[in-house]
Chains A and B, each alone.
Chain A
Amino acid sequence: MSEHDELGELMEALRDGTIEDAQIARLDQLLAESPGAVDYFVERAWLRSDLDTKLGSVAAPLLPIARRRPSRRFMVGLAAAASLLAAVSATLLLRPSHPATLSYEGVAVLTRALETTWEGTGPAVGSVLPQGRLALRSGLIQVEFFSGARVILEGPADFELVSANEGRFRHGRLRAVVPPQAQGFTVRTDGMTVVDRGTEFGFRLDHAGDAEVHVFQGRVEIDAKGVKTELPVGRALRVSRDGVAQTVASDPEAFVTVSDLSLRSAEEARSRFALWGGASERLRQDPRVAVYYSFADAPDWSRELRSQRAERSPLDGAIIGCRWAEGRWSGKKALEFKCPGDRVRFQDAGEYESLTLMSWVRVDALDRPFSGLMLTDGWTSGSVHWQITQSGTLRLGIHGDKQYNDYDAPAVFAPAQLGRWIHLCTVYDRDAREVTHYIDGRPVRRLPLKFDTQLRLGAAELGNWGVPMQGNVYAVRNLNGRMDEFALFGKALRAEEIAGLYAVGAPAP
């Protein structure tokens, strides 16, 4: 039995974060007074780090990745460094920090929404939909089931997602397009079960219980209160609330088609894009704007991201690595960040008492410890680091004089939210002494300032972190996704203004 039992126990409690203040005081006392305690502490800490690397539940410190400065000497050095890195990491040092598989709950994806209003808050386009009800007051949506079946729902409608290939219909109007892979797609109501056999069909159901099923392609099997019917193409079955059934000709015009919806969505997108264009122009003129990129009007070959200023200035961003891609709407430009080197650099962003950071981004993956949104070079007094952590929290890191703090919003990026356009806004308000994070125009977390400091922006990057270099080793911090609008205001914006910025820029209502 060890003479250091108490010391060991305190070390384990510290590791778990369950150690109490009094226990820390006791640990300090033991280390200061008990002979051999520091030796044992260090030896056991070392053993734990051996066990962590060997058994592998926690990563070793991350090595920044070497890149850039293409001199010959560097290339030789890089090759040697890379082979050394490969040799060592292959053995034990660079294990992933979270070995568990990421997961999410879902049965379908919401792929379109047109002029929708919902009972309560509805899902955003691009969201993964878990099991549950879609209560649509008005408008049109397109839902793609994981099985491959596609459903267009016309509001008012009440449709419940039961599984990846089944729904429960309470009322409304829907069109289902079922590819061969999704054969067997089933829609149930109180009295009926409609099973698809590789087709396209329409289904109307009113509150009273009168139903109509129209077959446009292939065939469907209908079980209406125990009476089984197989309905061929071109036919429709009317079933009254008391079960009286009647076959008539089907009417494809009565249900919105996928191509109708697609055309109408494109029209809607054009009008929203135009609406945003006007707002963007007003934002460009806003005297509070310190840096603004609309990501519009840039030719594909351009490697320069023009700021709000009419003349060229250091605020214009230099595009490094990123590719031009499609933004929130067809025809709207965005920059895509994918590779570790991808970044946009700008300079002379100024010094501020308070500031507001705003961006429209589409985060495709959180596959690194930090995904950069906007980070000032380095990490010293006055630095501002706006980024997303791997656990999906939106973080504003502020470095003051000899201290720093991370102001974290709750986890906003669940896996099911990746891949959709999202409006992020963070306000650092020195007068009100608080930081507020907004997601899609709504405040999600308000935090008191831990200390007072002047913010110094200077040189900064979008989508990455540039450390002032004597050399060329960087931490991997690039965003994996797209950005199509960015604004930095030298003032704290009010909640209503942020809600307005979101509303006028939302890709769909």
Chain B
Amino acid sequence: MGEPDRGEQFVRLFLQNQKRIYALVLALVPRGADADDILQETSAVLWQKFGEFETGTNFAAWALRIARYQVMAYYTSRKRQRARLSDETIDAVVEKMAARPEREEDRSFALDGCLAGLDRGDRELLELRYRGGATVGEMARQSGKTAFAVYKALNRAQDRLLGCMRGKLSAEGAG
């Protein structure tokens, strides 16, 4: 009786951590079909190997290790670009990513507030990039700016958001 169904347990842990997996993969692999495949393979492998996962240990760390393996396999399989981030760097990123304590509801709420507080130009820029899926090249062509200027603008908009979110999350956490 005691142990809850493994399927249910998996779904719960997976949903709690899927944003983390997504963040890791999309930090290491370009957006597009390859990233989608890696994400899908990762979720399939996670389930496949869930029998090996020990209840009570760190699911985030375990899941990110598997995602990391999928990313590495992708790096190996791809022939055009030989350069890639070193294993040490990726390990450092995985470790940090696994260690972030995040409360999804808080973040979503904070992000709404911070997005609303952005000036119109920054907001439109982020809409174009994240809703429209535009690349920097496309954004530069569309706005008549240089790619360099678009990079700068993207940095500025996201740093403002990050600053705002830090403030909101730490304030609420303290309260």
Contacts and interface: CB of A to CB of B under 8 A. Distances in A.
Interface of A: 1-2, 4-5, 8-9, 11-19, 21-22, 24-25, 27-28, 31-32, 38-39, 41-64, 66, 73-74, 76-78, 80-81, 84-85, 88, 91-93, 97, 369-370, 378-379, 389, 391, 402-406, 450, 467-468, 470-475
Residue among A46, A53, A80, A81 facing the most chain B CB atoms (10 A cut-off): A46
B133 A66 contact: no
A61 B83 contact: no
A85 B11 contact: yes
Contacts of A470: 6, 50-51
Contacts of A16: 30-31, 135-137
A54 B6 contact: no
Given A38-B96, A42-B96, 18 more contacts: A5-B155, A8-B155, A8-B159, A24-B84, A25-B83, A32-B89, A42-B27, A52-B22, A54-B108, A54-B111, A59-B36, A64-B44, A97-B36, A406-B77, A450-B77, A470-B50, A471-B50, A473-B11
6 contacts: A52-B130, A55-B126, A55-B131, A60-B39, A61-B43, A63-B15
CB-CB nearest 5 A-B residue pairs: A77-B5, A17-B30, A45-B27, A21-B83, A55-B130
Contacts of B15: 63, 84-85, 88, 93
A48 B39 contact: no
B61 interface: no
B62 interface: no
B85 to A, nearest CB: 5
A73 B93 CA distance: 39
A63 B50 CA distance: 14
Contacts of A48: 23, 26-27, 130, 158
Does more than half of chain A's interface fall in helix, strand or loop, or is it mixed?
A: helix
A404 B77 contact: yes
Interface in B98-150: 100, 102, 107-108, 111-112, 115, 126-127, 129-133, 135-137
A59 B26 CA distance: 11
Residue among A42, A47, A60, A391 facing the most chain B CB atoms (10 A cut-off): A42
Contacts of B6: 77, 470-471
Given A24-B84, A48-B23, A78 B8 contact: yes
B73 A404 contact: yes
Nearest to B12: A84
B21 interface: yes
Interface string B67-106: 0000001001101011111101100110011001010000
A54 B115 contact: yes
Contacts of A28: 85-86, 89
A50 B11 CA distance: 20
Contacts of A59: 36, 39
Interface of B: 4-8, 10-12, 14-15, 18-19, 21-28, 30-33, 35-37, 39-45, 47-48, 50-51, 73, 76-77, 79, 81-86, 88-89, 92-93, 96-97, 100, 102, 107-108, 111-112, 115, 126-127, 129-133, 135-137, 151-152, 154-156, 158-159, 161-162, 165
Contacts of A370: 40
Residue among A4, A17, A369 facing the most chain B CB atoms (10 A cut-off): A17
Contacts of B155: 2, 4-5, 8-9, 12
Contacts of A14: 27-28, 30
Given A42-B100, A74-B5, A81-B11, A49 B159 contact: no
B79 A5 contact: no
A91 B24 CA distance: 21
A54 B11 CA distance: 21
Contacts of B83: 21-22, 24-25
A56 B135 contact: no
A44 B37 CA distance: 23
Nearest to A68: B7
Nearest to B97: A42
B7 A8 contact: no
B73 A403 contact: yes
A471 B152 CA distance: 49
A70 B100 CA distance: 38
Contacts of B88: 32
A15 B8 contact: no
Nearest to B45: A379
Contacts of A45: 23-24, 26-27, 93, 97
Contact of A38 (B82, B92, B131, B133): B92
B154 A8 contact: yes
B19 A49 contact: yes
A73 B5 CA distance: 7
A57 B130 contact: yes
B77 to A, nearest CB: 5
Nearest to B85: A28
Residue among A9, A22, A39, A468 facing the most chain B CB atoms (10 A cut-off): A9
Given A27-B85, A66-B7, A61 B39 contact: yes
B41 A379 contact: yes
Given A31-B85, A64-B47, A42 B93 contact: yes
Given A8-B154, A12-B154, A77-B4, A17 B32 contact: yes
